[in-house]
Amino acid sequence: MNMLVRRQPIGSLFDDFFNDWFNLNAGPLAARSAEMPAVARARMDVLDKGANYEIRVDLPGVAKEDVRVTVEGARVAIAADTKGEREVKDGDKLLHSERFARSYARSFELPVEVNEEGAEAKLENGVLNLVLPKRVASASRRLAVR
């Protein structure tokens, strides 16, 4: 039986232990910067509700002022940024300090163009909810030639 055993250097085991120790209570936004992509793809659901599209996008930790939604015809672009700091203190003694920044971006095209009038966007509890009415296709008409 042929087995392959991979061994990590002792230094990386200690690094992993201490990095994990500081991140135990930090949550997902305070992950190590080497593991975080520059721009994250936000999780998204698109529902066709007949007369409109309902879109839900997860944007944890983002303030509504930091969200940008652009609609051009059938193309929808969503971008958001978040920044923060975290300090762990024992009285006046600083034990750990951390800063983080995260960007989210999604861009997609819907099957039908969207009517910008009547479109709604709300951010509640870290979830962006969009209601985008479908543009009613105008009936073609025949022109009289003179």
Read off the pLDDT of residues 127-141 as tens digits, 9 standing for 90 and up: 999 999 998 877 677
Which tokens belong to 118?
């009547």
d(CA 18, CA 144): 79
Tell me which of 2.60.40.790, 1.10.10.60, 3.30.365.10, 3.40.1110.10 is the CATH number of domain 10-133: 2.60.40.790
Nearest in space to 78 (alpha carbons), one of 92, 59, 95, 60? 59
What strand order describes the sheet that includes 39-40? Answer: 39-40, 93-109, 75-90, 67-72
Does the pLDDT value for residue 52 go beyond 90?
yes
Helices (H), the chain: 10-23
Whether pTM > 0.75 for this model: the answer is no
* Per-residue pLDDT tens digits for 86-105: 888 888 888 888 888 888 88
d(CA 82, CA 68): 12
**What's the pLDDT score for residue 101?**
84
